[in-house]
Amino acid sequence: MTTDSIILAGDYLLTMDAANSVVPDGAVLIEDGRIAAVGTLAALQTVHAAVPVKQVANSVLMPGLVNAHAHSGFLRGTAEHLPVWDWLTLHINPMHRVLQRHEAEAASWLCYAESVLGGTTTVVDMWRFMDGSAKAAEAIGNRLVAVPYVGEHPEYNYFDTLDMNEALIETWHRKAGGRVNVWVGLEHLFYADEAGQRRAIEIARKHGTGFHTHCSEAEIELAEFQTRYGKRPMFVLEDLGFFEAPRTMIAHGVWLDAAEIELIANHRVSVAHNPVSNMKLASGIALVGDMLAAGIPVGIGTDGEKENNNFDMFEEMKVASLLGKLKDLDAAAMDSWQVLRMATITGAKAIGLDDEIGSIEVGKRADIIAVRTDTPRMTPLFGEGPYFNLQHNLVHAVRGGDVSLTMVDGQILVEDGVLKTADIQEIIREIHRLAPGHFARRAAFLAENAGGTVQWTQKTQ
C-alpha cells in the first residue's frame, strides 16, 4: 500500500526526538514518503481533514529499528557451542568457500523478510555477492547498508574482492529510491594485505562512503596486533588511515580500552554492539557505557543468524540492557531510554543517516513501525502518568513478533503481522531447497581439509 498522503495513527506515538517525547493518541502525517507533521490525531485531522487516516488499533507507533551489524545467511542452528576461532575455521569460512551467488541472494531475502516482520527497517548487512542482496532489499522494501565481505589477501581469495565492492557502489549506491547504500567492507584488517588496506580506504574516500570491519571482537586479536604492529587495534587503524573514510564503523569493539575509546571519540568512528553474539561466542562484554559517555555513536546489531540465531532487535535491546547491568553490577546501567535510542536514533547516527531516519520528526523518512499493546507482554501499559512504563515494556518485554505494521518511506511492508511485499513461505521453501546442497559441498570441503580453513596467522603476512 502506497499513498501520496496519509495520516497514520496509534494509541501512543513514541517519537525518539531529543526529549523522547510520547504523544497519547498520536499520529503522523506522511506525504510522499516523508513525515510532514506530528501530533495528536485530532489536531492533524483538524488541519488535514481531507487526508485519509489509517488507524492502527491497540498500538504504539515508533521509529523503525536500525540493525547496525548483521550477516545474511542460512546456517542457523548448525554452528553451535564453539569459540569464535573454531567457529570461523570449521563453519563460517568453509561456508564462504562453497557459497554460490543464488544461495547468497536467497539468504538475503530470508533475513530481510525476517527483519521487517520484526520491526527492523534498516539493516547493515555484511554479506557476499551483494547485488542479489540489493535486489532483495529493493523488492522487500527495507533500507539496506550493503557492506561486502571483502578479502584482499592470498589466504582469503574466496571472499568478495574490492573490485566487486567498487562495482557494487557504482551500480547500487543510493539506488532503490535511496534505500540502498553501499559501503566499503573488510571482513577484518588481517584479511587484506597492505595494498588491499590502502585501496579500501581510497575507495571509501573516492565514493564518499562509509567503511565497516570487524575488530577487537576476540581477545586473541590483541596479541596479534601487538606482534604485527606493536600497538592496540584502534591505534593501528588510525595509523593506517582507516579513520580518514567519511565514516568508519567497528563491529563488536569488545576489547577496546580507555585509550582506544578516547581515540575513536575524536574521529568519525562508530561502533556496532552485538550483545547476543558476543555472549554466544564467549567473546566478552564491551564497554558500551564508556563509549556512549565519550560521545561515540553506538548502535545495536544482531550479527548473523548463525551467531544469534535470529534478527529480533527487540530481543537484542533486552540483552544489551541486561548485559550492561551485569557488567557493571549496577541495576541502573544501560537504562531503557538509552537502549531504545541505540536501536533507533543513535543507531541511525552510527551509520550517518540520523538526518533521515531514527526518529519520528518532520522532514524525515517515514520509517515507522506499530507495536501491539494488546498482548500479555505489554500488560499493564501506562503511556502517561506516574506509572509510565512504555519504554521499559518495549525494551524488556516486547518481541519482534509483536510488531503489527512496518513502513519504510511511507510504504507498508508488513500489515497485521503479514509480509505484503513478498511471499514468506516461498522464501522459506527456497532456503529448504538450497540448504542441503550447500551443506553437502561444505562437508566435502571439510573432508578434504580436516583442519578447516586457515585463519589469520603470521604466515599470512
Determine the longest span between alpha carbons in the chain, in angstroms: 72
Q: Is the pTM of this model over 0.85?
A: yes
Q: Given a cut of 70, is residue 412 above it in pLDDT?
A: yes
- Pick from 317, 331, 322: nearest CA to 399: 317
Q: Given a cut of 80, is residue 57 above it in pLDDT?
A: yes
d(CA 62, CA 24): 12
d(CA 161, CA 191): 11
d(CA 369, CA 352): 21
Residue 4 has a pLDDT of: 82
Which amino acid makes up residue 304?
G
d(CA 189, CA 214): 8
Residue 454 has a pLDDT of: 75
* Grid-cell match 581515540, residue found: 263
Which range has the worst mean pLDDT, 3-17, 80-94, 341-355? 80-94
Chain Cα centroid distance, residue 98: 25
Average of pLDDT values for 329-358?
98
Average of pLDDT values for 122-146?
98
d(CA 8, CA 366): 10
Residue 48 has a pLDDT of: 97
Q: Given a cut of 70, is residue 3 above it in pLDDT?
A: no
pLDDT tens string 303-321: 999 999 999 999 999 999 9
pLDDT tens string 364-411: 999 999 999 999 999 999 999 999 999 999 999 999 999 999 999 999
- Pick from 254, 299, 314, 256: nearest CA to 280: 254
- Neighbour-count burial of 18, counting CB atoms closer than 10 A to its CB (0-12 exposed, 13-18 middle, 19+ buried): exposed
Q: Given a cut of 70, is residue 94 above it in pLDDT?
A: yes
Residue 452 has a pLDDT of: 80
- Pick from 158, 129, 73: nearest CA to 439: 73
d(CA 154, CA 191): 9
Residue 369, C-alpha cell as written in the block: 513501525
Residue 2 has a pLDDT of: 42
Q: 337 falls in which pLDDT band (50, 70, 90)?
A: very high
* Grid-cell match 576489547, residue found: 255
pLDDT tens string 225-272: 999 999 999 999 999 999 999 999 999 999 999 999 999 999 999 999
* Grid-cell match 516523508, residue found: 34
3-state secondary structure the chain: CCCCEEEEECCEEECCCCCCCEEECEEEEEECCEEEEEEEHHHHHHHCCCCCEEECCCEEEEECEEEEEECCCCCCCCCCCCCHHHHHHHHHHHHHHHCCHHHHHHHHHHHHHHHHHCCEEEEEEEECCCHHHHHHHHHHCCEEEEEECECECHHHCCCECHHHHHHHHHHHCCECCCCEEECEEEEEHHHECHHHHHHHHHHHHHHCCEEEEEECCCCHHHHHHHHHHCCCHHHHHHHHCHHHCCEEEEEECCCCCHHHHHHHHCCCEEEEECHHHHHHCCCCCCCHHHHHHCCCCEEECCCCCCCCCCCCHHHHHHHHHHHHHHHHCCCCCCCHHHHHHHHCHHHHHHCCCCCCCCCCCCCCECCEEEEECCCHHHCCCCCCCCCCCHHHHHHHCCCHHHEEEEEECCEEEEECCEECCCCHHHHHHHHHHHHHHHHHHHHHHHHHCCCCCCCCCHHHC
Return the half-sphere exposure (C-beta side, CA atoms, 13 A cut-off) of residue 428: 5
Say what percent of the chain tops pLDDT 90: 94
Residue 460 has a pLDDT of: 42
Residue 429, C-alpha cell as written in the block: 521453501
